[in-house]
């Protein structure tokens, strides 16, 4: 089963929901603003996704970090800790296709090929 991870009110997430619904693709949604995200998920994602892509350095949350925190996002363990504390740092959406395949962000053409 397809699971997408993100924040319900995010504009990109809204595009994803509308697109999935229009294509009648079943999915589960994990809102990590409400449910949080654990270390195991982040470690799994980082086996498939690049750390420098998973951490959204364009986010308001990132801009609000201290210089020391910003510098730590290149260290996997420290970045995981920061993403658990500030889940808005995670780029959205994270797509888990349930078969060991993951995708990050919104690219309608790429997603159509994967689904």
Cβ atoms of 84 and 37 closer than 8 Å = yes
Q: Give just the sign of the alpha carbon dihedral 81, 4, 16, 107.
A: positive
Q: Which residues contact 21 (CB under 8 A, 6 or more apart)?
A: none
pLDDT, residue 23, reads: 93
What CATH fold (topology level) applies to the domain 2-114? Glutaredoxin (3.40.30)
pLDDT digit string (tens) for the chain, length 115 residues: 899 999 998 899 999 999 999 999 999 999 988 999 999 999 999 999 999 999 998 888 999 999 999 998 899 999 999 999 999 999 999 999 998 999 999 999 999 888 8
DSSP label at residue 36 = -
At 32 the three-state DSSP class reads coil
Residue 115 pLDDT: 83
Q: Which pLDDT score, from 0 to 100, does residue 114 have?
A: 86
| 10 catalytically annotated | yes
The whole-angstrom separation of Cα 38 and Cα 60 is 22
State the pLDDT at residue 78.
Answer: 94
* Phi/psi-derived region of residue 105, left when phi > 0, alpha when psi is between -120 and 50, beta in every other case: left
In whole angstroms, give the CA distance from residue 102 to residue 55. Answer: 15
Domain boundaries, the chain: 2-114
Selecting among 2, 3, 7, 10, the annotated active-site residue is: 10
- HEC secondary structure over 72-107: HCCCHHHHHHHHHHCHHHECCCEEECCCCCEEECCC
pLDDT of residue 59: 87
């Amino acid at each position: 089963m397809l699971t997408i991870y993100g924040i319900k009110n995010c504009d990109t997430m809204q595009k994803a929901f509308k697109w999935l619904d229009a294509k009648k693709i079943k999915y589960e949604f994990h809102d990590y603003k409400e449910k949080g995200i654990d270390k195991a998920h982040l470690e799994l994602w980082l086996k498939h996704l690049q750390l420098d892509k998973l951490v959204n350095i364009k986010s308001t949350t990132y801009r609000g970090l201290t210089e020391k925190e910003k510098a730590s996002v290149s260290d996997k363990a420290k970045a995981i800790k920061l993403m658990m504390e500030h889940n808005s740092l995670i780029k959205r959406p994270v797509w888990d296709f349930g078969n060991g395949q993951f995708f990050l962000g919104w690219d309608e053409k790429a997603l159509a090929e994967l689904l």
